[in-house]
A and B are shown apart, each in its own frame.
Chain A
Amino acid sequence: AQSVTQPDIHITVSEGASLELRCNYSYGATPYLFWYVQSPGQGLQLLLKYFSGDTLVQGIKGFEAEFKRSQSSFNLRKPSVHWSDAAEYFCAASVGGTASKLTFGTGTRLQVTL
């Protein structure tokens, strides 16, 4: 079955430190890949997406993600975390077309200490 896995439920980093959130997918073929962020009481905001081409994709708010086919991974990174980055982060995948529904990972809650 198609699935997305986020191994880390909760991560705490200090402000100014670097961040990496892990995401692995299990699909028959490479899916379209997305990272969303959800602040408390808010909907989901798209950070970045990977469809094809360059395996390092840039997103909003200084985030980037690297697609690694050999590892079936799409990890999210940020060089220097700000306190306002504290939120829940979801990795998602889709195969597109009439099967374009998103399959989400379970989310990683990011806490930022000052």
Chain B
Amino acid sequence: GAGVSQSPSNKVTEKGKDVELRCDPISGHTALYWYRQSLGQGLEFLIYFQGNSAPDKSGLPSDRFSAERTGGSVSTLTIQRTQQEDSAVYLCASSFGGAVSHEQYFGPGTRLTVT
């Protein structure tokens, strides 16, 4: 079956511009996660959705970062006024939600380069 998909695969933007990154989770997965992978910081959690709600936004690095999820499916991560330190690979993952932790399945990521 289809896995987690992300678009675009690569994005180059100028400093100060806004960008939107999209994630399409596995059908039927109620939980959705965003992570960031950068050379200096490794793999960091950004935000977690259960359905359309975000019970854990603790990893968002600043108020320039926001995310939403609609229809319990597709999610968009928006970065406003991008900075060079935002350059990273942004990974999305999905899983069956619930009280027990289930394995997360990752998409291929979006490589963001801020020039």
Chain A contact residues, CB within 8 Å of chain B: 32, 34, 36, 42-46, 49, 51, 90, 92, 94-107
Contact = CB atoms under 8 A, between A and B. Distances in A.
Interface in B10-68: 31, 33, 35, 42-45, 48, 50, 55-56, 59
A46 B45 contact: no
B100 interface: yes
**Chain B: interface secondary structure?**
strand
Given A43-B106, A100-B95, A101-B33, A94 B101 contact: yes
What class of interface size applies to chain B in its complex with A?
Answer: 20 to 34
A97 B105 contact: no
Given A100-B31, A101-B48, A102-B45, A46 B105 contact: yes
Given A42-B108, A43-B106, A96-B101, 20 more contacts: A32-B101, A34-B103, A43-B109, A44-B93, A49-B103, A92-B43, A97-B98, A97-B99, A98-B56, A100-B97, A100-B102, A101-B45, A102-B43, A102-B45, A102-B93, A102-B104, A103-B45, A104-B42, A104-B43, A107-B42
